[in-house]
Structure 1
Amino acid sequence: MIETVYQISFGMMVLALLLASIRLLKGPSLPDRVVALELMASITVGMVVLYGAAYNQPKIIDVAIVLALTSFLAAVGFSSYLEKRGIRNDD
């Protein structure tokens, strides 16, 4: 029973990743693309944690923590870069 839940969860995360990648490619503005990229990073972290839980690999969760911290720092760096450059929106 729990294996079915894991498979459904993986499928839903893959679908969410696909939809986020579509938004990343089609996003009408730069903030939309940044949010889609952050969403993809969060979904990837969730998939890594789900994999660790599904296959009883608790050490994999450390990888998810590092990935989450790295994506957060990338978002902060990117927003700082845009602020210093003076870009407020994408026309």
Structure 2
Amino acid sequence: MLDTVILLCLGIITAALLLTFARLIKGPDLPDRILALDTLYINGIALIMLLGLYLDSNLFFEAALLIAVMGFVSTVAIAKHLLRGNIIE
């Protein structure tokens, strides 16, 4: 039962990834594309977590944690660049 629910959620998250990627390509301006990129890595984390549950492996959870940290740092750096023009003061 849990396997079928995880597979269903994998399909839904994959559809969300595809729609977010379309927004990343089509986005009318830069802040929309940055928000799509932020959503893309969050959806990627969810996909990796579900894959780790399905395959019963702890390695996927560590990879998701690393992606979450790198995604947060990159989002802060991009936002700082948009606001001030430089990242390191």
How many percent of aligned residue pairs carry the same amino acid? Answer: 30
Structure 1 residue runs without a partner (length 5+):
87-91
Question: How do 1:1-80 residues align onto structure 2 when only pairs under 5 Å count?
Answer: 1-80=1-80
Structure 2 segments unaligned to the other structure (5+ residues): none
**CA distance, structure 2, for counterparts of residue 45 and residue 19 of structure 1:** 16
Give secondary structure in 1 for the equivalent of 2:28.
Answer: coil
Task: Return the letter of the residue paired with 2:72.
Answer: F
Structure 1 distance, partners of 2:59, 2:4, is: 23
Counterparts of 1:73 and 1:46, CA distance in 2: 18
Deviation sequence 1:4-56 (CA, Å, 0-9, x none): 11111110011000000111111111111011000000000011111111111
Distance 2:53 2:3 in 1: 11
The structure 1 segments of at least 4 consecutive aligned residues displaced by more than 6 Å after TM superposition are none
Secondary structure in 2 matching 1:57: coil
Instruction: Calculate the aligned-residue CA RMSD, in Å.
Output: 1.3
**TM-score, with structure 1 as normaliser:** 0.88
